[in-house]
Amino acid sequence: MHALESPALAVRLARSQGIDVLRGLAVLFVVLHHIHIRFRINKFAVTDLLPPDIARVFFWSGYYSVIAFFVISGFLITTLTLRRWQSLPQIRIGDFYRLRAARILPCLLLLLSVLSALHLAGFKDYVIKPEQGTLGRALFAALTFHVNWLEGQRGYLPGNWDVLWSLSVEEAFYIVFPIACLLLRRERFFLLALIALIVIGPFNRVALEGQREPWDSYAYLSCMDGIAFGSLAGWICVRTHLSRRLLHIAMTLGVAAVVLIVVFRSLAFDLGLTAVSLNVSLMELGVALVLLALSGGVGESVLSKGTGLIRLAGRCSYEIYLTHMFVVLGLMHPFKAIFGSSPTIGGYWFSYALMLTLSVALGYFIARGYSEPLNRKLRGGVHATAALLTMPPQARAPQPADV
């Protein structure tokens, strides 16, 4: 049986609980990162809330989490493209862009509308400074996916605008993705292009380091190796059959790589990985190996136990990511009024927990009440492949939220 015709594979990829856990953890770490930064910006004494090594994991893993999102997204878009159109060169470019627009635009346009209104109303935390550009310039950058470049030239935009840098990287890749599938004609040429991006990534990060913050970290070629790792893993998932033993090895090596980079950062630095930016590459490889193992069913049962709330966050991670700064910025002023300049440790932890919880709740309600219904409506009429149409009912689960 061809990999594309496997009902078991279709079920796993349609709604992987393990992938939802990964996305949920990633978005929670992003939110914690931004909460912590905002307390630091407001000069609150949050440096001693946790021991330094633990604090680095919980409060300073935001960038690694975004990199993980890139890998996951590359993996999902490739596996689902192969399922829908049988092979990459058979992709229907119009349908592909329509599916992407249905997922991305509803929440993005809502966000930009709210941000524009807050900027025009003069709310301090949302006003774009003249040196950063005009509102029109920021809107143009957001809608043409080059917020990362704009920030590289003008500096960081206000918090809710800044999160759009990663969307710029991801969507730039997906603008090129179907065109590359059609022009390269053969999948092996497409794989060579992915390998080229993987090789270029660390060199680009090293070349730009220290030149223009945050362009060194936000540049397209500094991040697209993560999407390429995920896309390569997705192709392997669909096109090959890996033994259970190999899948277990992939899971073990993938988890070890992620733990080394995220938890044991000093060791990664001492090994020289950070100096040549291979820490990011190793993190990307680790996430790709974990995804490959999950696609074969390894780790799914373990990650599905007791992780309901994390999986919920994973299913609406896009909405949480785009909107969480409304909660973080909005609660900072009441926090100051209630706790003053010297909050207790309990006051800090209560605020972290409250901001995290409300961020997830906001994203969830926007997803359920707004973006998911619009996504389904806008996707209607896009033709499925024969492989999808002949799937058993249980295989026709909702597609992963980021796709």
pLDDT digits (tens, 9 = 90+) for 16-54: 899 999 999 999 999 999 999 999 998 898 988 999 999
Looking at residue 356, its pLDDT comes to 97
pTM of the model: 0.91
Is the model's pLDDT at 83 over the cut of 80? yes
Residue 7 has pLDDT above 60, yes or no: no
> At residue 254, does pLDDT exceed 60?
yes
- What is the SS3 assignment for the chain? CCHHHCHHHHHHHHCCHHHHHHHHHHHHHHHHHHHHHHHHHCCCCCCCCCCHHHHHHHHCCHHHHHHHHHHHHHHHHHHHHHHHHCCHHHCCHHHHHHHHHHHHHHHHHHHHHHHHHHHHHCCHHHCCCHHHCCHHHHHHHHHCCCHHHHHHHHCCCCHHHHCHHHHHHHHHHHHHHHHHHHHHCCHHHHHHHHHHHHHHHHHHHHHHCCCCCCHHHHCHHHHHHHHHHHHHHHHHHHHCCCCHHHHHHHHHHHHHHHHHHHCCHHHHHHCCCCCCCHHHHHHHHHHHHHHHHHHCCCCHHHHCCCCHHHHHHHHCHHHHHHHHHHHHHHHHHHHHHHHCCCCCHHHHHHHHHHHHHHHHHHHHHHHHHHHHHHHHHHHCCCCCCHHHHCCCHHHCCCCCCCC
pLDDT in tens, 172-191: 999 999 999 999 999 999 99
